[in-house]
Structure 1
């Protein structure tokens, strides 16, 4: 059928109005458009009737219907049959019948159904549209849940029914009068008045879900957060909490956030009053009646296109505060790091100025012995490839390290070098390079070892040249089912072996983890204070098998040989002999059924694992088993370090499109070890509702942190809110003097 385009108000209605003796008026509004299969004009009655696939467009609003009648005298549109109204904001309204004003902003509607921009659905028997910004719906129903595909007549997972629903689009509110909430069609709650934000609202001031609960350590806990939207860039959340068993029953926490045009800033913290737990020793365990609290703050600011500045501030009054008041959601922190930085980017070059302060939360951390970096300045330069693809580099850093009590250090390090890669006509790949490093150290109150009480002040310099290179030659054997890649790798490092002079402290190189990643590196230490001296050769091979039928496998095995006797500080690293231990890794995956990843350090004589990290997963989403195993040796430089061995298992199941569950357990292995934690979890999630619950039990103890059981319960109703519950039941050991009964915590 032939369709007709008409400009109603500008090209059609105004001439008709003029024929009735009215003067045409000018307007800045854009004309409306009409599209229909058939158009009839009843001049005597002042009616324009459009039939068949009618479309009307007016100022961003579109009306679709089978039949539309426009009454010029009343300026009213009547629509019927498959009515659909789309608005500029994205909401879509479906109707059976509508009487609207000519601008489509006011009128009466029946059997209304609204699909919102966030997929929320609002329906009712009848309604009224006012000024284009208000909708009043009688006997309304709201839900963001999708209907059952097999039986759409079934009620959604949850819905809100109300005697009247008022959608105030100007103030962005959806208001319910005499509202009843249903779950699977069963009424579960009634409120005479209920309000929530419409889909256009991203942030709004108001009270958030409260925290209500109790525990044997804290007693009754009641917290009511209030969220305040200060302006478009700023918000503040203030949470007063009543803690019954705290010496001062009020704990106040707050979070302030502000976003700038070129940066952002946030600060959060809490404060209360109570007894601090400082030491494990029962004779000096508590400090009475002290202020306790914490502060976390961060900021990042773009100064211009090249320079950026920022900071991080993390502090707490005592070690166990964050874990004791676990409803602050910071109980997993074992250390706090504060820093400030200024960084610049110039092509391939990078400059950084930063300062650090640390606070350890472990029982053996000593605050006065903890170092502070005030400051560290570094600059890294990397040239573009030259004529022979050579690249020149220059790295320099200045460090000032101080302590409230103990040794201090100033350090200047400069490293210059060049590297050249090339490939031979046979396909093997080479890379050779050279570096020269110069250091200058000034130290005060330096001790040669933790056991030595004698200190000295010193100034020391050193020069350290290195020459290094690597060679690799990949061989590929392709086939229709499996591609095999064999790649031998070899490298060398030539340098002097100066050791560690007594006048130079070691602050950043206590840990050396000899592994597949640093086997061919010219420096295997993570820091700068210790030199990885001596000459050595490194060798290994990569073996890969790629197959869509049998899965993908990658195996690497390597070793190092040193020409000089290793230094004492390489003890227990796998490099304590000229011929090192073996480093290896294994990766295997078979489609989505099986995954295995392993990294290990093998004793060179007996091939026993000295360090081993293993991850495995077997199964499908319907049922799969995950396991993580870790064996870590003690550190030679750390007298508090101990060999650690731990294994964990997790049985997971996605037994339904929306349901999943898991069972977990973690156990420490070796002498004196035992069960660390156990847990079970159940989760449900769909487009409108999230439910999750976990039950975990821990067996460790740290000062006032006792073994216990925690139940976490969480409900999320999309667009409405969230209910989150955590239950903590502490079970003191038989020798503990605590007599409080197990309690309940809801967080």
Structure 2
């Protein structure tokens, strides 16, 4: 047509053949002068929010303003059976044929309607008849009457239903107003429940006024009433909750019901509050117990750009014992720079059994720390103070060690001739009300340098020197003690990879030498090195003691073989075996360290994880001569937590503890599952804890009924049985 378009005759009908054309082209044919329609969806900033509202499909009216599109752009595609134009050429009408609706599509969403009119003079789009809007995240809007401004930021709706992805239809309302992404609705009935008894849903919330904030994903109610199968059970003057499993914002949390031999019948009522001004949230709980009275619990969490804090406290006037019982936990940190901070991690309890009796905690002690630290690529400095509360009722608290204070300094250098050098200092003061008090000053230097050899192996040479200075009071030997600890090391390692890359063998050998001695029990106090454990995680450490008061000395040779089968990003199978050898006896080491035979126990690791539903892990320590188990930590997992699931863990220590625990979930139907866990002390043939029960999950609620048996004793806490019922209303948030 040589670039000239003939203007269609008034009301000329295009063929009824599901013709697909572009609206910008239709407007070009109709417009005099030409007016280009803006992208109806991509420029409608409220479309995403608008799509949250729904109503039953029926004859509707939608008014939406559009702005002119940029010349030459394609705003959206229009598919219709019939397209016509009025006499003035300022109105385009697209209609369906009764079987197929008019369809408008863009990158931001789609619109279906029986008829769509575009008025060029008013610059508005009208959608009439079973209007349906779907945005890019599949949120859908069906509305009986809709009026919106051109930017889709403000308007009014009548007789709507709200439907969101994953949850479906969750609310109905009489009227609503729209302001950006916020919808204010009146005469609202909220319920995600799809199954009903007659017209009564398992639970619902009716409210005079509800505000739905799409960008926050929450709903706020005023003057609301909660119904259970149509029966009002609770009045809520103000209530807010998120949609789905997000963390609650403001409002009530699901109650917990139970019965215990120790506590009697009990119910826990909870509320959650978010304070935007403080950028903090609070959880308040009140546990009412027939045998112990009322327990008040408070949690507070706050995060800012430079600070984080969390407070957890509880208070109980125990009517069973007549005592006032409480506990307090505080965690707070202030960041001055990304690497410089101060903080506190503290916890105290009123007595030894309060936490185990009311919170099922078996902590041997509570630690509180105040600290400040500064770290960088070449330095680290920390100053801290620690206080311990021993929860063992048989321990004299005056003999519990307290750390006032502890200073750590480290500085790393990269010399011009290669390698890495480190200078360190450590100062600690141990205080007791009754017992040994000591102060230790430690300084040292270390140099290491790696070498890559021609055969592809790596050799790392190192040398270090350390000096300790002790000042001791109230000990077997009072006064000052000094000791020097020089040491030289050489580490060799080389990986061997199979042709296909599936199997890798990596042998490692460490040789260490230092003069014998330095662990005089009569002179040097042992405060931080009481624990000694040899396993795969510390086999190649030159000293496996937990602290610095005890050291391993003399000539030593450590070797191990690491076998891995799998791909670079996933290990299907793994086997590691290693051992430590020494030239001389060392009476300060435990038997597992090889003080009697100069050879340590064999340590190893077995991992099996070929499928995502099968995991097996075993860490072992075997006698160096007989290969009898000295320690075994084994765990096996079958299945996934949301389906059939079983996890078994076994821990064994020769001459010590042996414990077996399990966790399981067995789906009985699509909605009913049996789950629980057990924990047994096999050495003393005692059931520590066992819990099992049924979990019934419907589309809008979950009920958990559990029986828990506690078989251990701890001070005043005796074995007992608890019965617990937890009710969770789904879509109201998850703790």
Give the TM-score range, shorter chain.
0.7 to 0.9
Contact 1:224–1:239, Cα closer than 8 Å, also in 2: yes
CA contact (8 A) 2:247 2:733 kept: no
Per the alignment, residue 150 of structure 1 pairs with: none
Displacement of 1:575 after TM fit?
A: 3.7
Greater mean deviation of Cα atoms: 230-239 or 461-470: 230-239
- Mapped to 2, the partners of 1:257 and 1:624 lie a distance apart of 33
The answer as to whether partners of 1:120 and 1:142 remain within 8 angstroms in 2 is: no
1:339, CA displacement in angstroms?
Answer: 0.5
SS at match of 2:131: strand
Q: Normalising by structure 2, what TM-score?
A: 0.75
**1:253 to 2:272 alignment:** no
Partner in structure 1 of residue 346 of structure 2? 313
CA distance in 1, matches of 2:313, 2:507: 55
Give the conservation status (yes or no) of the 8 Å contact 2:688–2:712. Answer: yes
Structure 1, unpaired ranges of 5+: 14-28, 148-152, 182-186, 277-287, 448-455, 635-642, 725-747
Question: Matched residues in 2 for 1:139 and 1:262: separation?
Answer: 41
Alignment partner of 1:459 is 2:499: no
SS in 1 for 2:679: strand
Which residue of 417, 434, 437 maps to 2:446? 417
Give deviations 1:668-724, integer Å, cap 9, x for gaps. Answer: 234x433333332444668854444443322211122111223343332233367x9
Answering whether residue 249 of structure 2 is matched by residue 217 of structure 1, we say no
Q: Are 1:667 and 2:700 an aligned pair?
A: no
Q: Alpha-carbon deviations, 1:193-242, whole Å to 9, x = none?
A: 66743658976554544555554433454554444444431344444554
Deviation, 1:496, is 0.8
Partners of 2:120 and 2:498 in 1: how far apart? 82
One of 138, 147, 151 as aligned partner of 1:100: 147
1:128 pairs with 175, 184, 194, which one? 175
Q: CA deviation at 1:627?
A: 2.7
1 CA distance for matches of 2:318 and 2:346?
Answer: 23
- Higher mean displacement: 75-84 or 345-354: 75-84
Q: Distance in 2 between matches of 1:466 and 1:100?
A: 83
The superposition leaves residues 495-524 of structure 1 with CA deviations (integer Å, 9 ceiling, x where unpaired) of 011142323211011111122232222112
* Equivalent position of 2:315 in the other structure: 271
What is the match of residue 640 of structure 1? Answer: none
* CA positional deviation for 1:101: 5.4
Equivalent in the alignment of 1:301: 334
1:705 aligns with 2:717: yes
Distance of 2:308 and 2:604 partners within structure 1: 44
Aligned residue for 1:4, secondary structure, equals helix
Whole-angstrom CA distance in 2 between matches of 1:180 and 1:56:
41
1:153-192 map, 5 Å: 166-169=209-212, 172-174=219-221, 181=228, 187=229, 189-190=231-232
Per the alignment, in what secondary structure is the counterpart of residue 614 of structure 1?
strand
Q: 2:661 aligns with which of 637, 648, 653?
A: 648
After superposition, the C-alpha distances for 1:160-191 in whole angstroms (9 at most, x for unaligned) are 5688875334895356978755xxxxx37446
Are 2:258 and 2:725, in contact at CA under 8 Å, matched by a contact in 1? no
Root-mean-square deviation over aligned CA pairs: 4.5
Residue in structure 2 matched with residue 512 of structure 1 by the alignment = 532
The yes-or-no answer on 1:609 pairing with 2:658 is: no
Partner in structure 2 of residue 345 of structure 1: 375
Matched, 1:476 2:488: no
Structure 2 residues not aligned, in runs of 5+: 1-20, 37-64, 70-74, 97-101
Count of matched residue positions in the alignment of Structure 1 and Structure 2: 653
Contact 1:106–1:128, Cα closer than 8 Å, also in 2: no
Q: Could you say which residue in structure 2 is the equivalent of 1:570?
A: 590
State which drifts further: 646-655 or 497-506: 646-655
Q: Name which of 81, 89, 97 aligns with 2:129.
A: 81
CA, structure 1 residues 51+591, in 2 after alignment: closer, same or farther (shift >3 Å)?
same
Instruction: Give the Cα–Cα distance (whole angstroms) in 2 for the partners of residues 179 and 251 of structure 1.
Output: 26
Report deviation, 1:649.
4.1
Mapped partners of 1:371, 1:609: distance in 2: 34
Q: Distance in 1 between matches of 2:495 and 2:199?
A: 59
The one of 161, 167, 170 equivalent to 1:113 is: 161
Structure 1 Cα separation of the partners of residues 622 and 338 of structure 2: 49
Deviation at 1:439, TM superposition (A): 0.9
2:601: which partner in 1? 581
Question: Cα gap change, 1:343/1:656 in structure 2, threshold over 3 Å: closer, same or farther?
Answer: farther
CA distance in 1, matches of 2:666, 2:560: 40
Give the alignment of 1:265-664 within 5 angstroms: 265-274=309-318, 290-324=323-357, 326=358, 329=359, 331-384=361-414, 387-388=417-418, 390-447=419-476, 456-478=477-499, 483-501=502-520, 502-546=522-566, 552-571=572-591, 573-592=593-612, 594-617=614-637, 623=644, 625-633=646-654, 643-653=656-666, 660-662=673-675, 664=677
Identify which of 252, 255, 280 aligns with 1:234. 280
Report the Cα distance in structure 2 between the residues aligned to 1:488 and 1:61, rounded to whole angstroms: 59
| Distance in 1 of aligned mates of 2:373 and 2:198 | 57
**Larger mean Cα displacement after TM superposition, 333-342 or 693-702:** 693-702
State the distance in 2 between where 1:162 and 1:385 align.
Answer: 71
- The separation in 2 between residues aligned to 1:198 and 1:12, in whole angstroms, is 46
Distance 1:263 1:118, change over 3 A: farther
User: How much has 1:31 moved relative to structure 2?
Assistant: 4.6
Q: Structure 1's 429 and 320: CA in aligned 2 closer, same or farther, altered over 3 A?
A: same
For 1:551-592, what per-residue CA distance to the aligned partner results, in whole angstroms no more than 9, with x for missing partners?
A: 944333222221122124434544432123322222234435
Deviations 1:622-644 (A, max 9, x none): 6565432212246xxxxxxxx11
